[in-house]
C-alpha cells in the first residue's frame, strides 16, 4: 500500500501545476504563504482535499448566482405553459370580430353553431365588458396568450363584438380573420329601430327604447343622440384596431388603417347583401370549418335564415337622406364599405363563372424531377 505522505514526481507534477496556475493564484488570495512548489511536499490527501474545497466553493457560488438571476426575471416566464405556445397553429383559429347589425347573429348561430360539432371545432363567444369594442394592451396580451395556448379547444372559432387585434405586435402570426360589413346608413337604421321595436330573435325582451316611437326622420330633425352621425362611426374602428386614432370620429388615419388591415390581415370580408355568397366562398377556402355550410344554410326556414331581423323599420325621407349623405362621417364609412365590397366582388368574380358556379382548379403540377416512385 502506497504511503499517503509520498510526494508526486516533480517533473510530472510541475506540468499539472502549470495548467492550474490561475487556480493556484486564486487559492493564494486565501492562503498568501502558499506557493505551487509547496504542493510537491504536501501529502496527496491534503492536496486533493484542497482542490475539492476549492471547486466546491466555486460550484456553490455559481449556483447561488444562477438563483439570483432567476429571481430577477418574472416567475411567469418560467411557467411550463409558455412552452405550449409552440403548438399554436394559426390555420386552426378563426376570429370573427363581428360588427353589430351586419347579419352576424344569423351567420354565427345558423352556420357556425350548427356546424361546430359536425365539423369538429369549438365555437367561443368573446364577451367584452360593458360593450367596449377595443382591448387595452394588457387585455390584448392576455387574449393572445389564451388563443395561442388553449390547445384543448383547437380548432376554434372565436366571435365577438371586438376591434381587430394584431397578433404580430406580440410576436405571433395572426390567425384567420373574417368579417362582414353593411351599407352604413342601413346599419344605423337597423340599430335605431332595433332599440325601439326589437327583432325576431328574442321576441319577449324589452329593448332600451321600447315605447319611444320617434322616427329616424324626427330624430335627425331635432338632432337626437340615437341618430347622431357619430353613431355611424363603427365599421372603420372595428377594422382599424387598437390604435389611439381608431376611435377618433372622422379620422382619416383610421380609415386608411382599416383598409390596410382588411387587405393584409383578413382572409375574407363579405357584405350583408351577399351573405349566401359569403358562406359559399368560406366553404371553399376554409373547408375544415365550413364544409357543408351552404347546403345547411339553404335548408333553414325563413326565421332561422334571418335571425335578428328588426321588426319594424321606417325608410328615411329624401330630405333626411340628403342630410346624411352630406355628412363627412357617413362619407368615410361609405368609402370603407365600398372598398370592402369591391374586394369581395373581385374575389368572387375571380373564382366563379357567369352562371355563378365555381371554376375548376386553375393550376396543375408538371415536370417533377426526379420522378416520384
Three-state secondary structure call for residue 3: coil
What was the pLDDT predicted at 317? Answer: 97
> Cα-atom radius of gyration of the chain, to the nearest Å?
35
Segments of 89-237 assigned E as strands: 93-96, 122-125, 156-159, 176-181
Mean pLDDT of the chain: 84
Report whether the peptide linkage leading into residue 8 is cis, meaning its omega lies within 30 degrees of zero. no
Asked if residue 362 has pLDDT above 70, the reply is yes
More confident residue, 349 or 48: 349
The grid coordinates listed for 319 are 330630405
Asked if residue 41 has pLDDT above 60, the reply is no
Q: What is the pLDDT of residues 126-170, one digit of tens each?
A: 999 988 899 999 999 999 999 999 999 999 999 999 999 999 999
Dist. CA 230–CA 40, nearest whole Å: 92
Three-state secondary structure call for residue 42: coil
What was the pLDDT predicted at 88? Answer: 93
More confident residue, 191 or 165: 165
Q: Using pLDDT thresholds of 50, 70 and 90, give the confidence band for residue 36.
A: low
The grid coordinates listed for 338 are 365600398
Instruction: Just list the catalytic residues.
Output: 159, 161
What was the pLDDT predicted at 303? Answer: 77
Q: What is the mean pLDDT of residues 309-329?
A: 91
Q: Which residues pair with 123 in a beta bridge?
A: 157
Report whether the peptide linkage leading into residue 176 is cis, meaning its omega lies within 30 degrees of zero. no
CB of 21 closer than 8 Å to CB of 36: yes
List all residues 6 or more positions away from 333 whose beta carbon is below 8 Å from its beta carbon: 184, 232, 233, 234, 235, 236
Dist. CA 198–CA 308, nearest whole Å: 8
Least confident of 18-32, 152-166, 264-278: 18-32
Q: Using pLDDT thresholds of 50, 70 and 90, give the confidence band for residue 307.
A: low
Least confident of 3-7, 97-101, 269-273: 3-7
CATH architecture of 90-350: 3-Layer(aba) Sandwich (3.40)
The grid coordinates listed for 84 are 405550449
CB atoms within 10 A of CB 105: 18
Name the percent of the chain lying above pLDDT 70. Answer: 73
Dist. CA 112–CA 29, nearest whole Å: 74
CB of 173 closer than 8 Å to CB of 251: no
CB atoms within 10 A of CB 153: 16
Residue-by-residue DSSP string for 123-191: EEE-PPGGG--SPPHHHHHHHHHHHHH-GGG-SEEEE-S-----GGGGT----EEEEEE--HHHHHHHH
CB of 181 closer than 8 Å to CB of 271: yes
Q: What is the pLDDT of residues 47-98, one digit of tens each?
A: 656 666 776 676 666 666 655 555 454 444 434 344 344 589 999 999 999 9
Dist. CA 195–CA 211, nearest whole Å: 10
Q: Using pLDDT thresholds of 50, 70 and 90, give the confidence band for residue 313.
A: confident
Asked if residue 221 has pLDDT above 80, the reply is yes
Dist. CA 293–CA 237, nearest whole Å: 29
Dist. CA 91–CA 78, nearest whole Å: 27
Cα-based torsion angle of the residue sequence 181, 182, 187, 191 in order, rounded to the nearest 10 degrees: -40
Report whether the peptide linkage leading into residue 370 is cis, meaning its omega lies within 30 degrees of zero. yes
Q: What is the pLDDT of residues 228-254, one digit of tens each?
A: 999 999 999 999 999 999 999 999 999
Q: Which residues pair with 218 in a beta bridge?
A: none
Domain boundaries, the chain: 90-350
Name which of 307, 53, 123 is nearest 200 in CA terms: 307
Cα–Cα distance list, 330 to 4, 50, 186, 232, 336 (Å): 98, 85, 11, 7, 10
Q: What is the pLDDT of residues 96-108, one digit of tens each?
A: 999 999 999 999 9
Name the percent of the chain lying above pLDDT 90. Answer: 65
What was the pLDDT predicted at 3? Answer: 45
List all residues 6 or more positions away from 16 whose beta carbon is below 8 Å from its beta carbon: 8
Asked if residue 207 has pLDDT above 90, the reply is no
The DSSP letter of residue 108 is I
Rounded to two decimals, the pTM is 0.75
Asked if residue 298 has pLDDT above 70, the reply is yes
Amino acid at each position: 500500500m502506497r504511503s499517503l505522505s509520498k510526494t508526486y514526481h516533480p517533473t510530472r507534477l510541475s506540468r499539472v501545476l502549470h495548467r492550474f496556475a490561475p487556480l493556484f493564484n486564486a487559492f493564494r488570495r486565501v492562503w498568501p504563504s502558499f506557493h505551487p512548489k509547496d504542493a510537491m511536499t504536501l501529502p496527496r490527501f491534503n492536496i486533493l482535499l484542497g482542490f475539492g474545497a476549492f471547486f466546491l466553493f466555486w460550484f456553490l457560488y455559481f449556483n447561488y448566482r444562477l438563483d439570483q438571476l432567476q429571481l430577477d426575471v418574472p416567475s411567469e416566464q418560467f411557467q411550463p405553459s409558455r412552452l405550449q405556445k409552440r403548438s399554436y397553429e394559426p390555420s386552426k383559429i378563426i376570429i370573427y370580430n363581428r360588427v353589430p347589425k351586419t347579419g352576424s347573429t344569423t351567420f354565427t348561430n345558423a352556420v357556425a353553431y350548427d356546424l361546430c360539432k359536425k365539423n369538429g371545432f369549438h365555437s367561443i363567444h368573446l364577451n367584452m365588458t360593458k360593450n367596449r369594442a377595443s382591448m387595452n394592451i394588457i387585455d390584448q396580451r392576455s387574449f393572445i396568450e389564451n388563443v395561442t395556448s388553449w390547445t384543448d379547444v383547437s380548432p376554434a372559432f372565436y366571435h365577438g363584438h371586438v376591434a381587430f387585434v394584431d397578433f404580430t405586435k406580440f410576436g405571433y402570426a395572426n390567425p384567420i380573420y373574417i368579417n362582414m360589413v353593411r351599407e352604413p346608413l342601413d346599419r344605423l337604421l337597423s340599430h335605431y329601430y332595433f332599440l325601439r321595436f326589437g327583432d325576431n330573435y328574442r321576441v319577449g325582451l324589452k329593448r332600451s327604447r321600447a315605447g319611444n316611437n320617434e322616427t329616424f326622420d324626427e330624430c335627425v330633425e331635432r338632432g337626437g343622440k340615437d341618430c347622431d352621425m357619430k353613431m355611424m362611426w363603427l365599421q372603420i374602428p372595428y377594422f382599424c384596431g387598437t390604435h389611439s386614432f381608431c376611435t377618433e370620429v372622422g379620422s382619416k388615419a383610421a380609415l386608411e388603417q382599416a383598409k390596410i388591415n382588411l387587405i393584409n390581415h383578413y382572409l375574407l370580408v363579405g357584405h350583408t347583401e351577399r351573405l349566401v355568397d359569403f358562406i359559399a366562398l368560406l366553404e371553399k377556402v376554409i373547408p375544415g370549418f365550413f364544409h357543408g355550410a351552404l347546403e345547411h344554410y339553404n335548408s333553414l326556414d325563413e326565421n332561422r335564415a334571418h335571425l335578428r331581423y328588426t321588426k319594424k323599420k321606417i325608410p328615411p325621407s329624401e330630405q333626411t337622406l340628403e342630410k346624411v349623405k352630406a355628412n363627412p362621417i357617413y362619407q368615410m364609412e361609405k368609402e370603407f364599405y365600398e372598398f370592402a365590397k369591391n374586394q369581395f366582388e373581385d374575389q368572387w368574380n375571380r373564382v366563379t363563372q357567369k352562371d355563378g358556379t365555381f371554376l375548376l382548379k386553375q393550376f396543375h403540377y408538371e415536370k417533377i424531377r426526379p420522378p416520384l416512385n
